Amino acid sequence: MARLALLSVSDKTGLVELATRLVNDFGFEIVSSGGTAKAIAAAGLPVTKVSDYTGSPEILGGRVKTLHPRIHGGILGRPGLPSDQADMEANDVRAFDLVVVNLYPFEQTIAQPDVTLPDAIEQIDIGGPTLLRAAAKNHAYVTVLCSPSQYDPYLAELGDNQGTLSPTFRMACARQAFWHTAGYDQAIAQYLTAQDSTDTAADLPERWTLSATQRQSLRYGENPHQPAIWYQVGTTPTGWAGANLLQGKPLSYNNLVDLEAARRIIAEFPAAVPAAAVLKHTNPCGVAIAATLATAYENAFNADNVSAFGGIVALNQPIDKATATALTKTFLECIVAPGCDPEATAILAKKSNLRVLILEDLHSGPTHLPRAIAGGLLVQAADDVPDDPATWQVVTERKPDTAQLEELLFAWRVVKHVKSNAIVVTRDRTTLGIGAGQMNRVGSVNIALDQAGDGSQGGILASDGFFPFDDSVRTAAAAGITAIVQPGGSKRDADSIQAANELGIVMAFTGVRHFLH
């Protein structure tokens, strides 16, 4: 008796080619449903509809078609077990040798901007995951394929082994099927959880799962002895997976980590005003906004041109000719921008090893940030609270003028993206000194002020955390700082406020802390 295959796929890629080889080269009989059966029949291949095979019509608009004992008995039956064999013979159930199923495009559907909840619900596959799980469970007897990428390896395995399959191959297919259904269920659960905007638990639900598919093997991780893989979340490439690598070598693990940090900081600045950020090891070494993109980049680069060497550059506007010319004057690892003019593309192409990425949407990022710890995960909401000076409290006698308030906001947006303890000194919407990752805030203050040098005169200082003592306020004032922005909230806030008043500088409390560990 011919071997039996069940084919029921949403994605018809490679379907006819697979069915043709199964029938003509390996003598399979095919049972199929819905559009899959129509596509196979249209190719002139023999196919039996599921409804004819089971004797039960599709009902509920196609919601129920493969959920039938003759289908699932043929998938789950163990021909080597006498009791199963007896049941199958008594109920006229034939064993399936192959099950090919891929699922309704749920993730592609919810990726559409105008999708409604009913639309999404209709793309939740019921029969498909059931078929996949049944076949994967019984992989000792059944081969299960859940992706068109598996068709050629399957056919090659059959051809190389006189129509048989090794247990190892079937096991590998079963694993892939279970990963596939796990990711599918996770996408549904996350989507439905996100629909409940009134429930605070919806932001951080009781159960947290991660599911992603391998996108690219990386040369190594942070160091050469650490293997690394780039995984993509969802079936539709978004974020860096959807970015266009305009030129340059493949991205490394460290490139991607740095690029994400660059994306986050440049997303702070609306595209209406040109902004540039230069980063090294996820910390900004220069950030600026200016009248033109080229000026913004040059100011950001000159803020710390030593650290900028071999850095990552993020721009919030498409790269133009002048900016491209400036970018090619030094060695950089990566540049990311929402676009690139043709003239700029030609200029950058002269630096063939320079990685240039086009990421049209610089603002969309993860809403929750997981971090692995021994025995579990920590998950927190992204630090995307809006920064609004109207909500700040100016706690000193001296009040900021409009220009100072704008400079304070610029500095506050930057310090948010510097590793704690973080201090940023700015003037004229350009960073002059950045103190990052020190074990005490005084050390960060000194680093930032030393780097700024004489530029501190008339400058602004931002701190991601409060000052527990007034020493940093006095050090800043001695260097020429005229205004400070910090969260406030220390038991000794009064000491810092008193020092600021004595020294005639402005101090604003934001009421928000921006630690970045």
- Catalytically active residues are 137, 281
**In the structure encoding, which two tokens stand for residue 202, read together?**
């919806």
* Cβ-Cβ contacts under 8 Å for 311 (sequence gap 6 or more): 278, 279, 280, 285, 332, 333
Taking the alpha carbons of 146, 149, 155, 157 in that order, is the dihedral positive or negative? negative
Between CA 418 and CA 431 the distance in angstroms is 12
402 exposed, middle or buried (CB, 10 Å; 0-12, 13-18, 19+)? exposed
Looking at residue 366, its amino acid is P
DSSP string, 190-255: HHHHHT-TT-GGGTS-S------EEEEEES-SSSTTS-EEEEE-SSS--GGGG-EEEESSPPPHHH
> For 189, how many CA atoms within 13 A lie in the half-sphere containing its CB?
14
Rounded to whole angstroms, how far apart are CA atoms 261 and 267? Answer: 10
Q: Where are the beta strands (DSSP E) in 354-492?
A: 355-358, 368-373, 376-381, 393-394, 423-427, 430-435, 460-463, 483-486
Shortest CA distance to 471 belongs to which of 437, 446, 451?
Answer: 446
Ramachandran angles phi, psi of 375, nearest 5° = 80, 10
Residue owning tokens 């340059």? 248
Helical segments of 328-396, H only: 342-348
Q: How far is CA 331 from the centre of its chain?
A: 28
Torsions phi, psi for 152 (to 5 deg): -65, -45
Tokens read off for 305:
């041109």
Three-state SS for 423-454 is EEEEECCEEEEEECCCCCHHHHHHHHHHHHHH
Question: How large is the angle between the packed helices 441-452 and 471-478, nearest 10 degrees?
Answer: 0
* Residue partners of 499: CB distance under 8 A and separation at least 6: 470, 473, 474, 477
